[in-house]
Amino acid sequence: MRLKTAALITAMVLVFIGSGIARAEITKTQVTINTYEDAFGQIDGDYVVWQGRGNLPDALYDADDWEIFLYNTATGASTQLTDNDNVDDLNPRTDGRYVVWWSDKPTGAEVWLYDIGTGTPIQISPSDGHNHYLPVIASGRVAWVRYTLGDVTSREIFFYDVLNPPALQITDNSVDDSAPRISDQYLAWIQTDSDQNSKVYVRDLSSGEIQEAANPSVWGMSPQKDGSLSVSLSHDGEDWEVIIKDTVLKYSESITDNNVDDRHPRLGANRIVWAAGEGKMSEIFLAVYTSLVCLTPGHDAVLSRLQPPTFTWASVGYDKFKVEFSEDPDFSTANSIALPLGKDDWLSETSFTPTKGQWELVGQIGGTDGRVYWRVKGKDTEENVAFNDPLAFTLVAEEAADLTTGMRGVTGDGDSGGLCFIGTAARSSW
């Protein structure tokens, strides 16, 4: 098998924001290593899909047409999903449980769905002599476009739910319906009349109700933006590079830095997939971005011993948390505490207000000088753990401490008057 995983590359990115320092971690994996053409990767959950084409006969790649491939990020295993001689299988998409693509047959293009769990592919578009193509998927629901062979001026939208087959025709009119987008809740598409006037329509997937979008920004559903992260391309004067932007850290960073064109970046949660190079030199790459960002209280804040504050932070790549307190910035002494106290008790939200009893325990750490260090411990779905850089605050006896005291920086909403000290996730996700 020529398709395999290459060595991992981990980069620690330093970012200066106001008076704070942020370090985000980017871990890269080369998914394919071959002399064939790999393109149009996409990722969701643990799975990467792409289309590949060879220029010589090979066990994995046909010589003359595009095939669909699947990569499991958890196991490193790759699977070829299609094997159709002289038929191109194109534009794969996945929702982490299913894969969809379209097969460009001369008698009428077809939309196919593959169940990752069972390994079963099925045709979900009707065999009606029309072209069905460019499917999109979310949570087992698929949308695509159908048009008459030789005529793309009057396209229609089709929809398929794995829990309620068969496929449904959503539009049936004399105008052009195209470019569907889909999420867990909505299906949206563009409708264009003969005068090239366009409107965005939305179908509520729960009620089935269709209406014109009151706010066309619903069209912003895009695989290149997820939560606080977005990916794009930027030309460095020699070639195209993949850029990631984190709206919490308020910065952009280049994921790639090479002498080839990087193309078609796609984002799923905190994972980015793209193709590097062109033709038979192109390969599929995967990057994982992680960070922990402390928002409040800021570094060197002054807090009341009597009134527990609320600790807040932002996370990319972690979904379970503990807040740790220590008299030592290295957290190496016994005079430390992690809240919640239970070994198996973790926070799922990115904020925490100690009870008065818990805050009294923290106060005992501060001793007579009142100096306490705190950090966030994050855990991902694979049970990997990371810590952000520790911050410090001082406890005073007053009922109402001045909570505006601390290192000034940029808060999570972009207000430069807030408090923050940015920390880091100090490990690879791989």
Q: Which residues are within 8 A (CB) of 382 and not within 5 positions of it... i.e. 6 or more apart?
A: 74, 429
Same domain, 103 and 18: yes
pLDDT digits (tens, 9 = 90+) for 35-86: 889 999 999 999 999 999 975 455 455 557 899 999 999 999 999 999 988 8
Torsion 47-49-54-57 (CA) sign: positive
Question: Cα(200)–Cα(209) distance, rounded to whole angstroms?
Answer: 14
Domain membership of residue 113 (yes or no) is yes
Domain membership of residue 1 (yes or no) is no
Domain membership of residue 62 (yes or no) is yes
Same domain, 139 and 251: yes
The distance from CA 189 to its chain's CA centroid, rounded to whole angstroms, is 23
CATH number of the domain residue 381 falls in? 2.60.40.10
Average pLDDT of the chain to the nearest whole number: 84
pLDDT digits (tens, 9 = 90+) for 83-99: 988 899 999 999 999 99
Same domain, 205 and 91: yes
* pLDDT for the residue 133: 95
Mean pLDDT of 335-352: 95
Last residue of a domain, one of 290, 314, 347: 290
Q: How far is residue 315 from each of residues 38, 58, 121, 320, 348, measured CA to CA in Å? A: 32, 43, 37, 10, 11
Same domain, 202 and 348: no
Residue ranges making up the domain that contains 131: 9-290
Model pTM score: 0.81
CATH number of the domain residue 244 falls in? 2.120.10
Strand partners, 141: 138, 161
The distance from CA 88 to its chain's CA centroid, rounded to whole angstroms, is 28
214 band by pLDDT with thresholds 50, 70 and 90: confident
Tokens representing 400 are 């109402």
Same domain, 273 and 361: no
* pLDDT for the residue 170: 97
pLDDT digits (tens, 9 = 90+) for 379-428: 998 898 988 888 999 999 875 445 444 553 333 333 323 333 233 333 22
Domain membership of residue 421 (yes or no) is no
pLDDT digits (tens, 9 = 90+) for 252-279: 889 999 999 999 999 998 999 999 998 8
Same domain, 14 and 103: yes
Q: What percent of the chain has pLDDT over 90?
A: 63
* Domains: count for the chain: 2
Same domain, 269 and 320: no
Residue 400 buriedness (CB in 10 A; 0-12 / 13-18 / 19+): exposed
